[in-house]
Amino acid sequence: MSDPHSVNVPSLRRRILGHLARGVPEAVKSFDAKSGRFLAENGGWAVTRQDIIFPLALLYTSEGTRYHASRPILDLALRGGDALRDAQGPSGDWEFIKIDGSSWGRVFMPWSIYHWLEAFALLRDSLDARRRRRWSEGLTLACDGVARELAKPFEHNIPCWKGMSLVRAAQLFDRPDWHEIGVRQERFAADHQHPDGYWPEGDAPTTHYNLVYVHAIGLYHAFTGDERVLPALRRAADFHAAFTYPDGASVETVDGRVKYTPEPSVTGLPGLGVTPAGRALVSLIIQAATQTGAEAKTGKASRSDTSWRKNQAQLSPHLASAFQHLRDGTTAPLPSRALRSRTLHRRRALVVRDRPWFACVSGYVPGASARHDLLRNRWIMTRSNLFSLFHDRLGLLIGGGNSKHDPFFATFTLSRGGVAQIEPDAVSFTRRGRTEVARFRFGRDNCLLRLTPRSATLFEITFELPAVTARRCQATGGFTLRVPAGERVRWSSKGPQPADASATIDPQRAVQFHWTPIQRHRECLLESRHWRLSMPIDSGMHYPAYPFNPYAINDAAPPAEAVVSIHARFDRVRIQRFLLRII
């Protein structure tokens, strides 16, 4: 897929409408006629399940699919909006119950408020007098509550979204007081962006939540034309152009909160299109996110990551926003789509493209003053898993995101006097030929990671300790290897005590081994049907390694997030080298 010279807005809009239309049968299946709620497969419900009334309303009012002017689709959207009103408390808020049944308190849910507003705008002429009055009352209660919360602006993705929603509500209900509060909040958010193009959470970026800011401020700009926020949107577009994989998925390596997902995020599209590279990124993401099953099969049959593109069309309200606010204009080539490119983003993170490889090393770590406060913050992970590797045919092979205080998710673990550190104090980058060198500083000590693409099918990963660090510290280097459930892996070695064993990756079954020096192993291998990993002596694997999940009431990660943790010790050597070969 080559980068076009300009955005083909009509074509992208057709793709979006087709994708939304394919999601209708699943919405109909999930609809509970008694309550008007759209239920999850387990029968659970969260207020955000109703957000699909916006894309339903868009399909009803837009020509191009069989759902245009369809009475059943209109009824579905209307009943869904009624359910939002029914679930509100006296002040217009909702109890935030997740689909697993856990309660997270009462909130003025910002996503649902905005998407209900847009459904109201689209369907206003289709509402009978009683329903229009009920919806207007519910939205007014909710927006009055939001206005009280934003009496003083503050920096976070939720108030940023709420401020945008207030501006939109002010337009629909002629409320200049809401408009003033919303504008103040959005300008505050734009003014408090980090110069690197992100809004810090946990003293560093998060690609996922950064897109929440971009989406909100992008919509705000579309509603108002306020040029004061454009510099922030341009910086954010540059940030995401750097930290997006070749297939459109967000790079999780610099994200301190959210794990990797192979599906491209369609959040942020209304705001990314303010730069040529941003418009190219919007086009890439929409084409990837809306591809049909037939398109997905082309060139993807051998992909090792089975979570890759389920191609279940969804009624995404974020795509509905993109449909309404796509920006026309020329595009610029994306670094991830080049044959070769190297981006050292603001000297804080490295992105290297050497097709078919794409690697990222993050140098974004929290400052010393912020670390103590982050120790008990459930939402901010420990920034220790700082290396990812993507291959065009197989997807993301190494990486996947951070965990909380967990050495299984650490690029380096350094111990002095029994005190271990997995989050470095600083990271710096140099280049020697085709080898990228990342230096991780832990106090007075350093560790080196060297990355070398040897060929289209061979990638070298080398961990190294300087002599002074080796004398003072115990150390382990490692990475998380993404092996999907059901994949068969085999590990083998030669030598006096050869090994030859295999197992099917199963999140409910532990698999681990270690190539110990005393057994004099040689030619140690871990392999699947897609790749072969040559491992050094005094290295091993551990599976499953589950990351901390702040979004579950019991902190438990789902089986899909389990990874293979690869490690190498430095008890007898200062250099440990891995060779990953695609087969």
Instruction: List, as one string, the DSSP characters of 418-460.
Output: TEEE-S-SEEEEEEETTEEEEEEEETTEEEEEEEEEEETTEEE
Same-domain pairing of 454 and 540: yes
pLDDT computed for residue 110 by the predictor: 95
Tell whether 4 is covered by a domain: no
* 181-219-187-112 Cα dihedral, nearest 10 degrees: 50
pLDDT computed for residue 331 by the predictor: 95
Q: Determine the structural domain holding residue 453 and report its residue range.
A: 340-582
Same-domain pairing of 152 and 202: yes
pLDDT computed for residue 295 by the predictor: 65
Q: Are 320 and 55 in contact (CB under 8 A)?
A: yes
pLDDT computed for residue 368 by the predictor: 84
CA distance 143 to 145: 5
Nearest to 535 by CA among 561, 555, 513, 551: 513
Instruction: List, as one string, the DSSP characters of 82-100.
Output: HHHHHH--TTS-EEEE-TT
CA distance 287 to 11: 10
Same-domain pairing of 325 and 441: no
pLDDT computed for residue 302 by the predictor: 40
Q: How many domains does the chain have?
A: 2
CATH code of the domain containing 16:
1.50.10.100
Tell whether 212 is covered by a domain: yes
For residue 262 the two structure tokens come to 């192979």
Q: Are 23 and 315 in contact (CB under 8 A)?
A: yes
pLDDT computed for residue 307 by the predictor: 39
Tell whether 306 is covered by a domain: no
For residue 311 the two structure tokens come to 């191609």
Same-domain pairing of 264 and 128: yes
Query: pTM score > 0.75 for this model?
Result: yes
Same-domain pairing of 328 and 438: no
* Token pair 């590797």: residue: 389
Same-domain pairing of 278 and 371: no
Q: Which helix (H) or strand (E) holds 471?
A: helix 467-472
pLDDT computed for residue 2 by the predictor: 45
Tell whether 298 is covered by a domain: no
Q: Which of 301, 336, 371 is a domain's end point?
A: 336
Same-domain pairing of 428 and 412: yes
CA distance 25 to 435: 50
* Token pair 């109201």: residue: 120
Tell whether 301 is covered by a domain: no
**Per-residue pLDDT tens listing for the chain (583 residues):** 444 578 899 999 999 999 999 999 999 999 999 999 999 999 999 999 999 999 999 999 999 999 999 999 999 999 999 999 999 999 999 999 888 888 889 999 999 999 999 999 999 999 999 999 999 999 999 999 999 999 999 999 999 999 999 999 999 999 999 999 999 999 999 999 999 999 999 899 999 999 999 999 999 999 999 999 999 999 999 999 999 999 999 999 999 999 999 999 999 999 999 999 999 999 999 999 998 765 665 544 344 443 334 434 589 999 999 999 999 999 999 999 999 999 999 999 999 999 999 999 999 999 888 988 899 999 999 999 999 999 999 999 999 999 999 999 999 999 998 899 999 999 999 999 999 999 999 999 999 999 999 999 999 999 999 999 999 999 999 999 999 999 999 999 999 999 999 999 999 999 999 999 999 999 999 999 999 999 999 999 999 999 999 999 999 999 999 999 999 999 999 999 999 999 9
Q: Which backbone phi and psi does 428 adopt, to 5 degrees?
A: -130, 165
CATH code of the domain containing 498:
2.70.98
Tell whether 184 is covered by a domain: yes
Same-domain pairing of 189 and 327: yes
Q: Are 224 and 317 in contact (CB under 8 A)?
A: no
Q: Which helix (H) or strand (E) holds 375?
A: none
Tell whether 3 is covered by a domain: no
Same-domain pairing of 19 and 118: yes
Q: Which of 305, 336, 367 is a domain's end point?
A: 336
Same-domain pairing of 329 and 361: no
CA distance 565 to 541: 6
Q: Which of 336, 370, 400 is a domain's end point?
A: 336
Neighbours of 422 (CB within 10 A): 23
Same-domain pairing of 344 and 414: yes
CA distance 260 to 351: 16
Same-domain pairing of 533 and 452: yes
Neighbours of 484 (CB within 10 A): 16
Tell whether 251 is covered by a domain: yes
Instruction: List, as one string, the DSSP characters of 153-209.
Output: ---SHHHHHHHHHHHHHHHHHT-HHHHHHHHHHHHHHHHT--TTSS--SSSS--HHH
CA distance 205 to 476: 26
* Token pair 């997905």: residue: 296
